[in-house]
Chain A
Amino acid sequence: MDLLGLANYAVFMGILIGIYALLSLGLNIQWGFTGLFNAGIAGFFAVGAYASAILTSLPASGRLGGYELPLVVGWLASMAAAAAIAWPIGKICLRFRSDYLAIATIGIAEIIRLVIRTEGWLTGGVRGVTGVPRPFGDLDYMPSQLAYLAIVATLVLVAYLLVERQVKAPWGRMMRAIRDNELAAAAMGKQVEARRLQAFVFGSALMGLAGALFVHFNRSITPEAIDPMIATFLIWIMLILGGSGNNRGAILGAAVIWIIWSVSELLTDRLPTEIAVQAKYARVFIIGLTLQLVLRFRPEGILPERQAGAPPHR
């Protein structure tokens, strides 16, 4: 690879890392600060992606869409759609221990996958949605990529600052207190439920926004673009490795894991075809094993949660 190719690759990676960082921040709100187990991240991501794609794309026959609305509308809609799905799930499941939320989010991700495949009039079925506009997409390749990187980076920064501010506010202190003490949580009752619901909905909205950024970057989306289990799991391991409860850790984890994941893909792609398929699944095994090793040897992650005077909680 020459220098220019390397620079192109770095920018490309930077954009994807930014998108994953948004997902990881969203999960940090849910798991890191509130202790909510979302096992359906890919579902919220997909909802955001399709929502923005449908609203902003060029007309196409056989499916809804072609409204060619401004990007900002698409992005807001992606957040609203993910939040609208998160709300009822959270409303029903947040009364119980997070195991139930985990089961329900696995379920909703599966249903979203079914809807995307089945409802061709809405999502284009297996053909997906194409003709999704990309901001600064008319520029040459490199300036266009750089512009998109700037947009993603700005959104990550804004999300980071918003989450940081919220976490340092009384809201964040209360959420951590609830997370670390189930008895206290039970004693506070209704109010706690409302706060946890806020955290779940807001985190899911960020995941939806990440989906929108992904679809505008690729200019299209198909059902195959999202492998629910692996996508969800990658984000989990990004957060745990980076340091759950620490927003910088969430972003750092996204970068580290995405680099390892895609470089290992480059390597396995060079293997002879007979073993390339097996190597692909071996990578999944290693990702699963990595989680176990992190949980065992560095449960607080690379950047542990900053908490005055208290040991890391998990």
Chain B
Amino acid sequence: MTLMDFLNFHLVPGIVLGSIYAVGAIGITLVFGILRFAHFAHGDMATLGAFIALALVTAGIDPWRALPIAMAVMAVVAIGVDKLFYDYLKARPKIVTVMASLGVALMLRAVVQVVFGVDPRTYASGIVRPDDYFGILLRDRELYTLAAVVLIVIGLTLFLRHSRWGKAMRAMSDNPDLARLSGVDNRKVTMLTWAIVGALCAASGFMLGINNELHSMMGWQVLLPMFAAAILGGVGRVEGAVLGGLIVGIAEEMSIFILPAQYKAATAFVLLLLILLVRPRGLLNGKVL
């Protein structure tokens, strides 16, 4: 294999896949860090977001314009899911909310299956030839995906670093009791977190869909790599989730050098167990619940 083949057929797809995982893992790490539970409906929220974008595309909207609309819709859906199914469990052990989220995962998927059916779908049909950038082959959709991920990560980082409510979210993740003593309204932070997480879910679902295809199990199948990425990077760390996402994505694409292709999906699991074994706080020293 030449170096260019390696880059084009393994590294670039790994980076594209990894940056999509990163967007999902950021959402997981925010819920894990701020609301303090593992959110198992995350993948299926991504599926629903992807299909909402599909509905918009079917109505004649350009896919990349449908994305922000789908993100806004999913922000509202995520707040609604919290109010309907998680909020009343907050006085109980957090693991009960984990269970409820498993139920929500099943429900969201059933909604997609009833409304959109179970056959694979695409945003646009036809084969797209990649363009050559100094020997690196990239399709437009891959380029846009990478650009969108970079924009999302920069925007979110700026928000968390410099805005009043971004700091409130970090404070809640860091020390919830002290945040409350400082007058931070827990309910507002919770709502804001779900709005951001819902939007991120829609983004990751859409990008999975546009780079491959949409189907009702797509979100559930990426739940494990996204969790692995969040824990690998360090729970509660946005930059860790990005790093973790890239590592898991690239590792999955590289796994075919040592594993039969059918076991690509096992890579994330192996990485997850490995990091829990040697460094449970993750690469960037996050939280351990």
A104 B272 Cβ-Cβ under 8 A: yes
List, in ascending order, chain B residues with CB within 8 A of A114's CB: 262-263, 265-266
- Binary contact readout A272-314 vs B (1 if CB under 8 angstroms, 0 otherwise): 0000011001101101110110011001000000000000001
Interface 9-residue window, one of A47-55, A89-97, A261-269: A89-97
- Which single member of B32, B106, B224, B272 contacts A229 (CB below 8 Å)? B106
Knowing A103-B38, A292-B85, the reply to whether A98 touches B95 (Cβ < 8 A) is yes
- Interface size, chain A (Cβ < 8 Å): 43
Q: Are B273 and A104 in contact (CB under 8 A)?
A: yes
Rounded to whole angstroms, the CA-CA distance of A230 and B105 in the bound complex is 11
Known: A96-B276, A114-B265, A285-B107. A291 touches B99 (CB 8 A): yes
Q: Please, how many angstroms separate the alpha-carbon atoms of A24 and B103 in the complex?
A: 17
Partner of A118, one of B88, B95, B262: B262
Set of chain A residues within 8 Å of B84, measured between Cβ atoms: 292
Whether the Cβ atoms of A107 and B224 lie closer than 8 Å is yes
Does A193 sit at the interface, judged by CB under 8 A? no
In the complex, which residues 220-243 of chain A have their Cβ closer than 8 Å to any Cβ of chain B?
229-230, 233, 236, 240
Contact B98 A284 (CB under 8 A): no
Contacts of A314 in B (CB 8 A): 92-93, 96
Number of A-B contacts (CB under 8 A): 130
**1/0 per residue A100-142: CB within 8 Å of B?**
1011101110110010011000000000000000000000000
Task: Report chain A residues within 8 Å CB of B117.
Answer: 277
CB distance from A189 to the nearest CB of B (A): 16
Let me know if B110 and A106 touch, CB within 8 A: no
Given contacts A97-B289, A287-B106, A295-B89, contact A118 B260 (CB under 8 A): yes
Question: How far is it, in angstroms, between the C-alpha of A288 and the C-alpha of B112 when the chains are bound?
Answer: 14
Contact B266 A233 (CB under 8 A): no
Partner of B280, one of A96, A118, A282: A96
Is A35 interfacial (CB 8 A cutoff)? yes
A contact residues around B289 at 8 Å (CB):
96-97, 99-100
Q: Which of B40, B96, B106, B223 contacts A295 (CB 8 A)?
A: B96
Q: Which residues of A contact B262 (CB under 8 A)?
A: 114, 117-118
* Known A118-B262, A236-B99; contact A278-B104, beta-carbon cutoff 8 A: no
Distance in angstroms between the alpha carbons of A37 and B99 in the assembled complex? 8
Query: Closest residue of chain A to B109, judged by CB?
Result: A284
Instruction: Give Cα A106–Cα B92 distance, bound, in whole angstroms.
Output: 23
Q: How far is the CA of A277 from the CA of B92 in the complex (A)?
A: 37
Question: Interface 1/0s, chain B 55-74, versus A by CB < 8 A?
Answer: 00000000000000000000
Tell me which residues across on chain A come within 8 A of B273, comparing CB atoms: 89, 92, 104, 107
Residue A199 lies at the interface, judged by CB distance under 8 Å to chain B: no
Chain A hits for B288, CB < 8 A: 96
A167 in contact (CB, < 8 A):
no
Known: A102-B38, A102-B40, A296-B88. A39 touches B102 (CB 8 A): yes
- Does chain A have a CB within 8 A of B186? no
Given A99-B37, A99-B38, CB of A288 within 8 Å of CB of B103: yes
**Shortest Cβ distance from residue A65 to the other chain B in the assembled complex, whole angstroms:** 21
Chain B residue at smallest Cβ distance from A100: B276
Contact A281 B100 (CB under 8 A): no
With a CB–CB cut-off of 8 A, which chain B residues contact A296?
A: 88
A64 → chain B closest CB, angstroms:
18
Q: Is the CB of B106 within 8 A of A92?
A: no
Give B220's nearest chain A residue, CB to CB: A229
Hey, which chain A residues are within 8 Å of B88, CB to CB?
296
Residues of A with C-beta under 8 A to B8 = none
Q: Are B114 and A108 in contact (CB under 8 A)?
A: no
Q: How far is the CB of B217 from chain A (nearest CB, A)?
A: 9
Q: Which residues 5-39 of A sit at the B interface, judged by CB distance below 8 A?
A: 35, 37, 39
Q: Which residues of A contact B276 (CB under 8 A)?
A: 92-93, 96, 100, 104
Which of these, A96, A100, A285, contacts B106 with CB under 8 Å?
Answer: A285
Instruction: Decide if A233 touches B110 in the complex (CB within 8 Å).
Output: no
B38, B268, B272, B277: residue with the most chain A Cβ atoms closer than 10 Å: B38
The answer, among A110, A278, A287, A289, for a CB contact under 8 Å with B269, is A110
The closest CB in chain A to the CB of B117 belongs to A277
Q: How far is the CA of A102 from the CA of B114 in the complex (A)?
A: 27
Q: How far is the CA of A103 from the CA of B98 in the complex (A)?
A: 10
CA distance A240 to B111 in the complex (A): 23
**Most chain-B Cβ atoms within 10 A of its Cβ — which of A99, A106, A240, A277?**
A99
Complex-state Cα separation, A30 to B265, whole angstroms: 27
Kindly state the separation between the CA atoms of A182 and B231 in the bound complex, as whole angstroms: 22
Contacts A/B (CB < 8 Å), 16 sampled: A99-B289, A100-B276, A102-B38, A102-B40, A103-B272, A104-B269, A106-B224, A110-B266, A236-B99, A236-B102, A281-B113, A285-B110, A287-B106, A288-B110, A295-B103, A314-B92
**Chain A contact residues, CB within 8 Å of chain B:** 35, 37, 39, 89, 92-93, 95-100, 102-104, 106-108, 110-111, 114, 117-118, 229-230, 233, 236, 240, 277-278, 281-282, 284-285, 287-289, 291-292, 295-296, 299, 314
Closest 10 CB pairs of A and B: A285-B110, A99-B38, A288-B107, A107-B269, A288-B106, A281-B113, A291-B103, A97-B289, A288-B103, A284-B110
Known: A103-B231, A282-B114, A292-B84. 4 other contacts (CB 8 A): A99-B94, A107-B269, A230-B106, A288-B103
